[in-house]
Amino acid sequence: MLRNGIDHLGLHVDLYYPTPDAANPKAAALFEANRFVVSRQVHHSVSNTGDAVDLVAFVNGLPVFTFELKNNITNQTVEDAVKQYQRDRDPREPLFAFGRTIAHFALDDQRARFCTQLKGASSWFLPFDRGFNDGAGNPPNPDGVMTDYLWRQVLAPLSLAGIIENYAQIVVEKNQKTGKKVSKAIFPRYHQLDVVRKLLADVEANGAGRRYLIQHSAGSGKSNSIAWLTHQLTETTHDGRIAFDSIIVVTDRIILDNQLTQTIKSFLQVGSTVVHADRSGDLRRAISAGKKIIVTTVQKFPYILDDIGADHRDRTFAIVIDEAHSSQGSKTSAAVSRALAGVDDIEDDTVEDQINRIIEGKKLLPNASYFAFTATPKNKTLEMFGEPVPNAEGGTGFRPFHSYTMKQAIQEGFIVDVLANYTPVGSYYKLMKTVEDDPEFDAKRASKKLRAYVEGNEHAIAQKSAIMVEHFLGQVVAKRKIAGQARAMVVTSSIARCIEYFHAIRDALAARKSPYRAVVAFSGEHEYKGMKVTEASLNGFPSSAIAEQVKTDPYRILVVANKFQTGYDEPLLHTMYVDKALSGVLAVQTLSRLNRAHPAKHDTFVLDFANDADEIQRAFEPYYRTTVLAEETDANKLHDLVNDLDAFAVYTIEQIDEFVSRYLAGESRDQLDPLLDVSVAEYIEMPDEDDQVAFKGGAKAFLRTYNFLSTVLPYGSSEWEKRSIFLDHLVPKLPAPKEEDLSAGILENIDLESYRAEKLSAMKIVLDDEDGTLDPVPAAGGGHRSDPELERLSAIVRSFNDHFGNIEWNDADRVQRFITEEIPRMVSEDEAYKNAQANDDPVNARVESDRALNQVMLRLISDDTQLFKEFQDNTSFKQWLASTVFNATYRKSA
């Protein structure tokens, strides 16, 4: 009513005059005519006429906020105010009915909380504090009580007008399964209001061309913050004109993609200006049609931008990036910059002109502002988007423009502490030697193989699934976690392991005669016991329905492989069972799926089969408080890398120049590859394999570092760019140095005698209360070879059993052996590999063999997930397997 007024019998009545444009004196006079009034002791009840609420704020006679005030000096706190709303304020009365006021505030002289919908005892009050020392609460106020910012700043007339016009909203959500519509009110938390207003003020002062990093904890409402920022950026001015011609919202979360679009559209002022860009051409048409806001996913972004053309050099753009570290890879960033800057190929340019244009195209655009949101900024993200600050050594570090920390979110109860109930599960095995003799093996590699062998065993998966189901039914369902609505997630290390767990959990639920069912989530089509399966075929409903189905019974356990580990916002998730090695950002993002708050959610639980508490603590610590980059990346290290690479004499400067010239001229692969093959031959002829490792590692380090620095350095180097183009094509063609696997064959000489998984003590992981610091992007090569440590088989088995426990069990299932039989056979059947062999080209044959091996490993994952995990994570093992398969198949299938 305040925004739109009311219509009656052909008449329209405005009930509120909006914030005026600075150049419109008539609108300013109308705004001044608004009446912002606060009344004390407002009697609100017909049945209990003596009942009164402490304060009510009115705008032109319409109530917008109610307040219950308490004072710590009289031993009453904000909690007493909350209880008063829950106990004494009847939501059936008009003043407290849903939608009749914007919000209800409970506050004392130190803390403030609010609620948008009173529901008696289940009314959910959220914190509205500024935060102090990166945590909950408010800072000391030398000029008054700690909470006076609420009326002096937030509810001052101009500020309140902004909230009414741009933030407060009732949105309608439709349940896709039942068709039922549910209305809910949206109101900004303090940190959301603060970050959006500070960003808008900076745009107003400085215009386009700035970079902003916003570090807001997972579960802190980034979606709404992005929506509020985006729709207000459409009208923000700088030097008397609109600051941005178009705002492009980029997300890597497909679930959030539609969610963001709908949230932004829900604000009336911009409902007709939002478009969803799905394919090439959409963005160009949207800009031409005057659409101000375009929402797209990072996967589609580079392709969409290909079509923009060169006519946008004079336009200004705001690029709002959700989860910045994954949305701003070097190639995506370059595609964005080239398209929006209008960097096109021009005929008759010299190679140097083209190189310089490529360098400029990689840099962050001077005519665009970047607003990067993330809960877990990586070092690259901080350096690319963060605010430069002096460090202790006199150099430059980087920190976020704005932060709302994990510490504050947990202390405020806005998210749940996922580390408060963390329980690792110890695995205990007993292996036995099955041969009479006692051969020697590489002890370190052999131990890894033995661990993979046991964890991938069918019996181990069945036993771990039984533990999960027993815990879920006995500790989560039976104890009515989240008022009996709790869900669980099982995080697995691969798609094949995911499918195996799904069946094992389904069987365990059936054995317990449980009414509940599991849901599986993975990408693509995969083979399981000779049959092709997909999510839909296993679940019995489309992939697009998984998120909604998990909210409804009988579906209670979600089994995932690389899906729903990021960007999945489900408050009903209570418990997570982890059987995947996690570290760094991925560990934080994965476990943070549990942290979404719910009125009936008081704790979470993690049962971890693959990690220990120290690993998880190391992963979370940098992100508990504000994350700071210790120092910027040293660009001079690129000079050292270039000198080191040149010294190997794998290539010459003339070869690089010729390749780059012909590459930029658009010559085909069959014309370019011979130039690379000369360098490949030099690499293969290196007498020392350690040099091969050092060269390839150094080349990868150069590409990684240069691709990042090219976006942030104020200068460019054509020599670096040429090497980048050349090495980007050369590195994939370099075969891995042949490395003898001195642990090969150990699985044929052992058997599993017993297996047991045992829960250890539950614990609370406590994080250090200080800013997290990250090291800069490493600019050194990491290639090296390790010398094997040979031990007798009996000693390896004894050491392994000593480490994991000697416990007698009867069951034992053996992992099928793929390395010597199945994998070589399947690789040799690959058509592209056959063709490469037929052409008598060992270098290309090796490339095709490695490619085919990757495909085979994905297909065979269902029979030994740990083998696949070792292949993915262990570079030495991957190199050995690739060499072994190539040696076993080259010529044999020709």
Read off the pLDDT of each residue in 390-416 and give the average, rounded to a whole number: 86
Tell me what pLDDT residue 46 has.
Answer: 83
**pLDDT > 80? residue 168:** yes
d(CA 49, CA 40) in angstroms, rounded, equals 15
Buried b (16+ CB within 10 A) or exposed e, 123-136: bbbbbbbbbeebbb
Selection from 31, 19, 2 nearest residue 168 by Cα: 2
Residue 71 has a pLDDT of 92
Instruction: Indicate if the pLDDT at residue 62 is higher than 80.
Output: yes
Task: Please state whether 315 falls in left (phi above 0), alpha (psi between -120 and 50) or beta.
Answer: beta
C-beta of residue 189 within 8 angstroms of C-beta of residue 136: no
Q: How far apart are CA 258 and CA 246, in angstroms?
A: 19
- Who's near 625: CB < 8 A, 6+ residues apart? 134, 405, 406, 407, 769, 770, 771, 772
In the predicted model, is pLDDT for residue 361 greater than 50? yes
pLDDT at 778: 61
User: Is 628 strand, coil or helix?
Assistant: strand
Kindly indicate the confidence band of residue 485, based on its pLDDT and cuts at 50, 70 and 90: very high
Mean pLDDT: which of 370-374, 426-430, 787-791 is highest? Answer: 370-374
> Domains (ranges, CATH) in the chain?
35-182 (3.90.1570), 188-404 (3.40.50.300), 422-630+743-804 (3.40.50.300), 822-889 (no CATH)
Question: Tokens representing 761?
Answer: 């003590």
Calculate the alpha carbon distances from 699 to 234, 362, 708, 775, 880 in Å.
Answer: 44, 20, 14, 21, 21
Q: List the Cα angle 147/39/196 in 5-degree steps.
A: 45
Candidate from 393-397, 789-793, 802-806 with smallest mean pLDDT: 802-806
Tell me which residue has tokens 């929506």: 227
Closest by Cα among 560, 486, 446 to 797: 446
pLDDT of residue 444: 59
Q: Which residues contact 560 (CB under 8 A, 6 or more apart)?
A: 489, 490, 491, 492, 498, 520, 521, 522
CA–CA separation, 694 vs 773, rounded Å?
29
Closest CA to 651 of 751, 722, 580, 710: 722
Mean pLDDT of 443-451: 59
How much is the average pLDDT of 1-6? 88
State pLDDT tens for residues 675-710. 999 999 998 888 877 788 888 888 888 887 777 676
Say how far apart CA 103 and CA 170 lie, in whole Å: 12
* pLDDT above 50 for 310: no
C-alpha 379/C-alpha 629 separation (Å) is: 6
Alpha carbon distance 373, 376 (integer Å): 9
Residue 592, CA distances (Å) to 255, 325, 620, 659, 713 in order: 16, 17, 10, 47, 34
What confidence score (pLDDT) does residue 40 get?
95
Do the Cβ atoms of 249 and 322 come closer than 8 Å?
yes
Instruction: Please give the structure tokens belonging to residue 780.
Output: 């050194």
The pLDDT of 351-367, averaged and rounded, is: 61
Separation of alpha carbons 85 and 413, rounded Å:
19
What one-character DSSP code corresponds to residue 814?
P
Average pLDDT score over residue span 57-63: 95
Tokens of 632: 């910027």
Name the residue with higher pLDDT: 41 or 748. 41
Per-residue pLDDT at 811: 31
Give pLDDT tens digits for 810-869.
Answer: 333 333 345 666 777 888 888 878 877 777 667 778 888 888 887 777 665 544 555 565
The amino acid sitting at 29 is A
Q: How far is CA 121 from CA 85, 92, 303, in A?
A: 8, 14, 51
Quote the CA–CA distance of 323 and 302 in Å, as a whole number: 17
Q: Are 261 and 322 in contact (CB under 8 A)?
A: no
How much is the average pLDDT of 522-531? Answer: 90
Give residue 412's Cα distance to chain centre. Answer: 23
Question: What integer pLDDT is reported at residue 267 of this predicted model?
Answer: 59
Is the link from the previous residue into 622 a cis peptide, with omega within 30 of 0? Answer: no
Distance CA 63, CA 94 (A): 10
pLDDT, greater one: 16 or 220: 16
Please choose, from the candidates 341, 600, 344, 619, the residue with its C-alpha nearest in 3D space to the C-alpha of residue 479.
600
Whether pLDDT at 797 is above 90: no
Reading the block at residue 404, the tokens are 């709302």
Q: Who's near 290: CB < 8 A, 6+ residues apart?
A: 273
Residue 807 pLDDT: 31
Cβ-Cβ contacts under 8 Å for 655 (sequence gap 6 or more) = 675, 678, 679, 726
Please report which confidence band the pLDDT of residue 636 belongs to, taking 50, 70 and 90 as the band edges. confident
**Which ranges constitute the DSSP H helices of 145-233?**
149, 157-166, 190-206, 222-233
CA angle centred on 136, ends 135 and 139, rounded to 5°? 90
Distances (CA, A) of 498 to 349, 491, 717: 53, 8, 47
Per-residue pLDDT band at 13 (split at 50, 70, 90): very high
* Cα 831-834-836 angle, rounded to 5 deg: 110
Q: Is 527 helix (H, G, I), strand (E, B) or coil?
A: strand
> Which phi and psi (to 5°) does residue 379 adopt?
-60, -40
% helix, strand, coil for the chain, step of 5? 45, 20, 40
Comparing 378-387, 402-411, 418-427, which segment has the lowest mean pLDDT?
418-427
Q: Please give the DSSP secondary-structure letter assigned to residue 95.
A: G
Q: pLDDT digit string (tens) for 594-635?
A: 998 888 898 999 988 888 888 888 888 888 887 777 676 677
pLDDT, position 519: 97
The yes-or-no verdict on residue 245 having pLDDT over 50 is yes
Q: What is the DSSP letter of 622?
A: G
* Cα–Cα distance measured from residue 92 to residue 95, given in angstroms and rounded to the nearest whole number: 8
Of 240-249, 277-286, 684-693, the one with minimum mean pLDDT is 277-286
Q: What are 450's two structure tokens?
A: 């033995």
Residue ranges of the alpha helices (H) in 415-494? 443-455, 458-471
Over 60: is that where the pLDDT of 432 sits?
no
In the prediction, which pLDDT does 347 show?
44
